């Protein structure tokens, strides 16, 4: 919503222009209202699917902690919806940024549920040589934490230009510098994690997938910056003026920014998946990730 500027297309919630949002004529709307109401409907769909998940898990799952974890997912999507609604009612930019940062946490909960209910989780065997895999496991957790921190800093980069006051420019500058620094740190850790996974022959698909995602993310990040803010003066003298640089919020810039944010969430999810699967193979009984204390996964057999 920040990318398109449609976050405040409606001043009310849970209504849309006075109509309960589930009954709003979405297909007849245009522009920001079409985008924002589509966002609301997708959120509602996630909520209904979470309710269905709780019902299915309680009917089919024998592990008590998995049943309880399904309720955590439902609570997460409810919290995300309420947070988005309060952001609209108060028209508060900080709440919009928080809303954007908690969304990936709900995504992580869903990824965790998929992994722990998979057939692989039930049938995989513990590793014989655990020492090398433990190093990869630690790296995967570090990559997960760094990827989430990068999403937070990215939210600051997107929202700070919309802030009012002298501090806005300072926040934006610092956020951009830290965003670039974190990108370099993440690349280094992902390279190391992928190399370890390939060398010890564990979670190789995840490691290669993470490399591909990070490479795509770097390209999207550079493209996003050029399209939104232009190219540096020294590059202009070498390459000349570029017609696609420093554009307004047109379709191209929106697609690049949205893709950049989406790939960031995928990097976060794949890093978590590698960490959880390694924890299972290492027979680690409980895994608590620092980025989400409520995302606790039991590994009993």
Same domain, 85 and 9: yes
Report d(CA 35, CA 237) in Å as an integer. Answer: 39
Residue pair 34/26 in contact by the 8 Å Cβ criterion: yes
The highest-confidence range among 60-69, 119-128, 161-170, 239-248, by mean pLDDT, is 60-69
Q: What is the pTM of this model?
A: 0.85
User: Measured over all CA atoms, what is the biggest interatomic distance in the chain, rounded to whole angstroms?
Assistant: 66
Which pLDDT belongs to residue 170?
A: 77
Count of structural domains, the chain: 2
Give domain status of residue 297, yes or no.
Answer: no
Same domain, 249 and 177: yes
- How many C-beta atoms surround the C-beta of residue 262 within 10 A? 12
Identify the CA nearest to 70 among candidates 15, 22, 116, 31: 116
Give domain status of residue 299, yes or no.
Answer: no
Same domain, 197 and 226: yes
Taking CA atoms, 183 is separated from 55, 178, 215, 218, 259, in Å, by: 40, 8, 11, 8, 16
| Listed residues 90, 123, 156: the one ending a domain | 123
Same domain, 244 and 137: yes
Instruction: Give the total residue count for the chain.
Output: 301
Q: Sort residue 20 into left (φ over 0), alpha (ψ -120 to 50) or beta.
A: beta
Same domain, 137 and 249: yes
Query: What SS3 string covers 88-157?
Result: HHHCCHHHHHHHHHHHHHHHHHHHHHHHHCCHHHHHCCCCCCCHHHHHHHHHHHHHHHHHHHHHHHHHHH
Same domain, 35 and 156: no
277 falls in which pLDDT band (50, 70, 90)?
very high
| Listed residues 101, 123, 145: the one ending a domain | 123
Same domain, 97 and 4: yes
Same domain, 285 and 242: yes
CA dihedral 201, 204, 210, 212 (to 10 degrees): 120
pLDDT in tens, 119-130: 999 898 888 788
Same domain, 219 and 287: yes
Same domain, 115 and 211: no
Same domain, 163 and 179: yes
Checking if the pLDDT of 253 tops 50, the result is yes
Give domain status of residue 174, yes or no.
Answer: yes
Same domain, 89 and 137: no
């Amino acid at each position: 919503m920040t990318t398109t500027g449609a976050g405040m297309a409606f001043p009310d919630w849970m209504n849309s222009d006075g109509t309960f949002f589930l009954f709003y004529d979405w297909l007849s709307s245009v522009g920001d209202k079409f985008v924002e109401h589509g966002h609301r409907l997708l959120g509602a769909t996630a909520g209904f699917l979470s309710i269905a998940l709780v019902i299915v898990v309680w009917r089919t799952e024998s592990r008590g902690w998995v049943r309880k974890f399904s309720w955590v997912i439902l609570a997460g999507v409810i919290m995300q919806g309420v947070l988005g609604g309060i952001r609209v009612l108060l028209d508060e930019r900080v709440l919009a940024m928080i809303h954007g940062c908690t969304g990936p946490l709900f995504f992580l909960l869903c990824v965790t549920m998929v992994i722990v209910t998979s057939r692989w989780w039930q049938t995989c065997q513990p590793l014989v040589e655990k020492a090398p895999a433990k190093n990869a496991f630690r790296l995967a957790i570090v990559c997960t934490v760094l990827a989430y921190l990068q999403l937070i800093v990215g939210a600051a980069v997107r929202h700070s230009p919309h802030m009012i006051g002298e501090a806005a420019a300072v926040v934006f500058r610092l956020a951009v510098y830290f965003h670039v620094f974190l990108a370099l740190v993440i690349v280094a850790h992902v390279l190391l994690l992928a190399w370890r996974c390939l060398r010890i022959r564990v979670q190789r698909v995840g490691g290669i997938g993470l490399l591909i995602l990070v490479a795509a993310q770097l390209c999207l990040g550079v493209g996003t910056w050029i399209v939104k803010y232009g190219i540096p003066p020294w590059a202009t003298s070498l390459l000349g003026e570029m017609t696609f640089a420093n554009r307004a919020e047109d379709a191209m810039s929106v697609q690049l920014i949205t893709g950049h944010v989406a790939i960031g969430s995928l990097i976060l999810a794949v890093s978590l998946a590698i960490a959880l699967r390694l924890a299972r193979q290492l027979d680690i009984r409980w895994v608590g990730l620092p980025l989400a204390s409520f995302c606790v996964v039991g590994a009993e057999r």
